[in-house]
Amino acid sequence: MPVRRRLLVCLLTALALAGCGQDGNVQVRPARTGQITVGFSQIGESSRWRAANTKSIKNSFGIENVRLIFAVAGLSRDKQVADIQRFIHDKVDVIAFSPVVETGYDDVLRQAKAAGIPVILTDRVIKTADPGLYLSSIGSNFTAEGSSAAVWVKGEFRNSQKPVNIVELEGTAGSAPAVQRKAGFREGLGDDERFRIVATPNGNFSRSEGEAAMKTVLKTQHDIDVVFAQNDDMGIGALTAIQAAGKRPGKDIKVVTIDAIHDGLTALAEGKINYVVECNPLIGPQLVALIKDVYLGIRVPRRVDTDETVFFPENVRDYINDREY
């Protein structure tokens, strides 16, 4: 057994034997079995991004002291609330989840708090008037991702003498990435009146819905300069619709997306997408490290941002073959 794991086992055992209590900075919960049981509720399993996020989490939990109970919400907030209520009933040590949407979790998180179960948000975040309902959140800075997409658009059209017409394909309504990427994109565009968002259809972060949404927009918008898709899957769907309308994506209509899944980087290498902002799903190792500290009562940061980068035609070939998702 590696040293780090042996240390964790010894520490948990010692604390169990010594009778846990408040000691300086370490407020330790009674270690019932020396094993940490974590209830995790995942949004769904609908995309390559989500599958990679799940794989990273499950693989990181594969160590003997941390037991994972994994539930899938099927894009339903109500199902996710029921998952969390079951974790509370089963008296898990820590709850972690990726909220489907930003609101509607206060009641169940108050139940978790009353049961003394710490909560960590992963990937997405919630909006709540009571910040004490969760201990920490780990994930991407969605606002910065949206702003990065806008900065590229402004650079690409910096010399334009005419209005730049933009279609924004929005993700799941009410979800943190959709709300914050939207805000970041507008912040990045600033007050330059040349840049006009002429349509904001919803594609629910899905390839098929992104294609359908773009097809509809193309029927009424005949002078589109840019498509900003809030994730690769919707952007890839939009490519199909743009080509079906007889236009060349990446040339007649520029395309900017977020995620950097393998298919997105392939379209970038082919010149059909012009710029991709990474949204890294591989947060499993950071999440497990955070959970261990939470369990041991060690002070944790309120927010842990994942490391991310951007891709463009000149650098994509250096990364595409090593993509884990």
Interacting residue ranges for ligand GYE, rule: CB under 6 A: 47, 49-50, 123-124, 140, 177, 205, 231, 233, 258-259, 279
Q: Are 211 and 180 in contact (CB under 8 A)?
A: no
Question: By C-beta, is 20 or 236 nearer to ligand GYE?
Answer: 236
Question: What is the DSSP code (8-state) at residue 266?
Answer: H
Rank residues 177 and 297 by Cβ distance to ligand GYE and give the closer one.
Answer: 177
Q: 134-162: buried (b, 16+ CB within 10 Å) or exposed (e) per residue?
A: bbbbbbbbbbbbbbbbbbbbbebbeeeee
Helices in the chain by DSSP H: which ranges?
A: 3-18, 48-60, 77-89, 106-114, 142-156, 176-189, 207-220, 232-244, 262-269, 284-295
If DSSP codes are grouped into helix, strand and coil, which group holds residue 111? helix
Residue written as token pair 């003394």: 116
In the bound state with ligand GYE, the residue whose beta carbon lies nearer, of 170 and 225, is 170
Q: What's the closest the beta carbon of residue 294 comes to ligand GYE, in angstroms?
A: 22
Least distance (Å) from ligand GYE to the CB of residue 304?
A: 15
Q: Which is nearer to ligand GYE, 123 or 168 (CB)?
A: 123
Q: What's the rounded Cα separation, in Å, for the pair 256 and 275?
A: 5
Nearest by Cα to 36 from 2, 69, 73, 72: 69
- Shortest Å, Cβ 323 to ligand GYE: 14
In the numeric block, the tokens 């003498």 are attached to 161
Q: Tell me whether residue 157 or residue 325 sits nearer to ligand GYE (CB atom).
A: 325
The CB-of-3 to ligand GYE minimum distance in angstroms stands at 35
Q: Which is nearer to ligand GYE, 124 or 272 (CB)?
A: 124
The answer to whether 54 and 96 are in contact (CB under 8 A) is no
CB of 70 or CB of 110, closer to ligand GYE: 70
DSSP reduced 3-state for 153: helix
CA dihedral 188, 134, 91, 16 (to 10 degrees): 110
Tell the smallest beta-carbon distance from residue 140 to ligand GYE (Å).
Answer: 6
- State the minimum distance, in angstroms, from the CB of residue 74 to ligand GYE: 13
> Shortest Cβ distance from residue 178 to ligand GYE (Å)?
9
